[in-house]
Structure 1
Amino acid sequence: MSEQGERLQKVMAHAGVGSRRSCEDLIEQGRVSIDGKTVTRLGTRVTPDQIIRVDGERITFDESKVTIALHKPAGVVSTMDDDMGRESLAQFVEMREERLYHVGRLDTDTEGLILLSNDGDLTHRLTHPSYEVPKTYVATVEGQVNRSIIRRLEEGVTLEDGFVKADKVKIIEMGLPNSIVEITLHSGANRVVRRMFEAVRHPVVRLVRTEFGTIGLGRLKPGRSRVIGGSELAALMKSVDL
């Protein structure tokens, strides 16, 4: 093992695994691996190019990489720089030194959770269709949604660019003039949730994305952001086999 780099227990503690002492215990118990090899020696040092896992979950060592959860307000375009001078995502993270990129998009009228990152591997996997990362939305739609509409969305509808179906749909509030529906799907097609509800004749009035993969919006207010780290980041990375 290289004598360069940081001590393993220090890296683990900094990544939010636990206290330095508890991290030492994990190492001695054989629950930590580096590049696929279990390590038990407390003097082990690691470098940013090595892959560290605790109980099979990867932890991040490269401090130059950052992933941020942002609550995008409605009316903001999902780009870091807009040529037309519209409000963009950059204004909400302008104090950060890293050059961040948006992970996928939300249409301008949709609000809610969007991820920003400078981790190219993570961004690629979160947006690639083969990883089928689920996204959950809460939609306020016109009219009274009934169980037959839920079945249609889960069985699938045909849009102009192909067939798409929801993974799960749940009625939160059923009534007039509007109903509130939670919908989860892994399609990343443009405006797909709005188009699905239009196909079943219940146009969207308001749309909020509440979850992206393992990350939840929680109590994050519009325009606010937070850094994703520790076990939360580990779970996100694990969900796309990193």
Structure 2
Amino acid sequence: DGRAFEAEGVGHPAGGDTARGARPEERRYDVGPGGTHEGPKSGRGASARGGAKGGPKQGQQRGGRTENARSREYETRTEERNRDRYAGKPDIKLPKTFPGAEEEGERLQKILARAGYGSRRACEELVDQARVEVNGQIVLEQGLRVDPEKDEIKVDGLTVATQSYQFFSLNKPAGVVSTMEDNEGRQCLGDYVTNRETRLFHVGRLDTETEGVILLTNHGELAHRLTHPKYGVKKVYLAHIVGPIPRDLGKRLKDGIQLEDGYAKADHFRVVEQTGKNYLVEVTLHEGRKHIVRRMLAEAGFPVDKLVRVSFGPITLGDQKSGWLRRLSNTEVGMLMAEVGL
């Protein structure tokens, strides 16, 4: 009942925020004299403070004493009564813990829960099922303390990202430049990740007119390895070209196409679909040179009309809509790390 709250002196959010369900940080409360916030000067909050017609005014004399004086006197009596009640009772002893427990890390189930593996109870079940290992050893009992800065934690063989790392996959639309900011005012990747607490950066690039999967993270070492040729992370592209195409096109691409900056080889090639002279082909490669797929096909005699990257390592596009950003699952993050030896 709203009147019951008014009687206790609790105000209402300013500007009628109750109707639109304002977030807590947007609310302002009537805390009365000595409070940290100034409430509204009129309306129901004022009535609750005694400003309504016929009600006592703040600080008004009642029986020779002010309301504030009565409140202080009541608090003093309560404090004395509680002091007498507990006088002479022994101090409560806290449970004993082994020396340095606070310095020796956190409980494993707490770290797993924070990393997104469910509630603490669900994480305890992972331990009971022998699915968790720390530094290469299967954890067989509850309550193990670990140091997330130093210890390697895995679930089902996949490394757990225990720090404050974020991992996202964006289905980049055509016309978006692969930068987090653009001085020319063009639409860029940063437009899709505003209001994030942590600064993200993109893993590799996609041509402005190329669509598809691009990863965003704040994990520097993972981003470096995913784009380094040493680790050979494969990317899969779907390209629309106009045929007819010769049967040996795939062999030519896999043997290597001579470009102005050296040979470029595809790891795999196949025709996905054909409608008349229109072909949809799939090209897999682990290189990351600029315009690499477009240049290879153009050099082979088949300029690309449309290009979409459908996977980056184990991360696939699936049914993710153009322009949509999604957070990677713990399993996907673990697969990415396993791909590059983290």
Query: Any unmatched runs of 5+ in structure 2?
Result: 1-99
What SS does the corresponding residue of 1:130 show, helix, strand or coil? helix
Please name the residue that 1:104 is paired with: 204
Please name the residue that 1:91 is paired with: 191
The counterpart of 2:159, out of the listed 45, 51, 58, is: 58
**One-letter code aligned to 1:235:** M
The structure whose RCO (Cα within 8 Å, separation 6+) is larger is: 1
CA contact (8 A) 1:144 1:175 kept: no
The structural deviation recorded for 1:30 is 4.7
The whole-number CA distance in structure 2 between the counterparts of 1:32 and 1:45 is 13
Moved more, 46-55 or 84-93: 46-55
Which has more radius of gyration? 2
The counterpart of 1:117, out of the listed 217, 224, 231, is: 217
Task: State the superposition RMSD in angstroms.
Answer: 2.1
Residue by residue over 1:143-193, the C-alpha shift from the partner in whole angstroms, topping out at 9 and shown as x without a partner, is 223421122112221111111211111101234442110111101111000
The counterpart of 1:142, out of the listed 221, 238, 242, is: 242
Moved more, 36-45 or 151-160: 36-45
The whole-number CA distance in structure 2 between the counterparts of 1:42 and 1:106 is 46
Moved more, 129-138 or 14-23: 14-23
What SS does the corresponding residue of 2:239 show, helix, strand or coil? strand
Please name the residue that 2:230 is paired with: 130
The whole-number CA distance in structure 1 between the counterparts of 2:315 and 2:101 is 34
Normalised by the length of structure 2, the TM-score is: 0.66
CA contact (8 A) 1:70 1:226 kept: yes
Normalised by the length of structure 1, the TM-score is: 0.91
The whole-number CA distance in structure 2 between the counterparts of 1:197 and 1:176 is 19
The whole-number CA distance in structure 2 between the counterparts of 1:183 and 1:232 is 23
Please name the residue that 1:161 is paired with: 261
Distance 1:143 1:35, change over 3 A: same
Q: Is 1:180–2:280 an aligned residue pair?
A: yes
- 1:29-44 aligned within 5 A: 30-44=130-144
The whole-number CA distance in structure 1 between the counterparts of 2:116 and 2:132 is 14
Moved more, 174-183 or 64-73: 174-183
Residue by residue over 1:59-113, the C-alpha shift from the partner in whole angstroms, topping out at 9 and shown as x without a partner, is 1111x21011001110110000112211110001112121011100001010111
The structural deviation recorded for 1:142 is 2.3
The whole-number CA distance in structure 1 between the counterparts of 2:274 and 2:226 is 33
- Please identify which structure carries the higher strand content: 1
Residue by residue over 1:195-216, the C-alpha shift from the partner in whole angstroms, topping out at 9 and shown as x without a partner, is 1101110100000000001101
**One-letter code aligned to 2:230:** S
What SS does the corresponding residue of 1:197 show, helix, strand or coil? helix
Moved more, 225-234 or 199-208: 225-234
The whole-number CA distance in structure 2 between the counterparts of 1:27 and 1:175 is 53
CA contact (8 A) 1:153 1:166 kept: yes
Residue by residue over 1:122-146, the C-alpha shift from the partner in whole angstroms, topping out at 9 and shown as x without a partner, is 1011011100000001100122234
- Number of aligned pairs? 241
The structural deviation recorded for 1:18 is 6.0
CA contact (8 A) 1:17 1:231 kept: no
**One-letter code aligned to 1:211:** S
Please name the residue that 1:210 is paired with: 310
What SS does the corresponding residue of 1:204 show, helix, strand or coil? coil
- 1:192-231 aligned within 5 A: 192-231=292-331
The whole-number CA distance in structure 2 between the counterparts of 1:229 and 1:175 is 37
Percent identical residues: 49
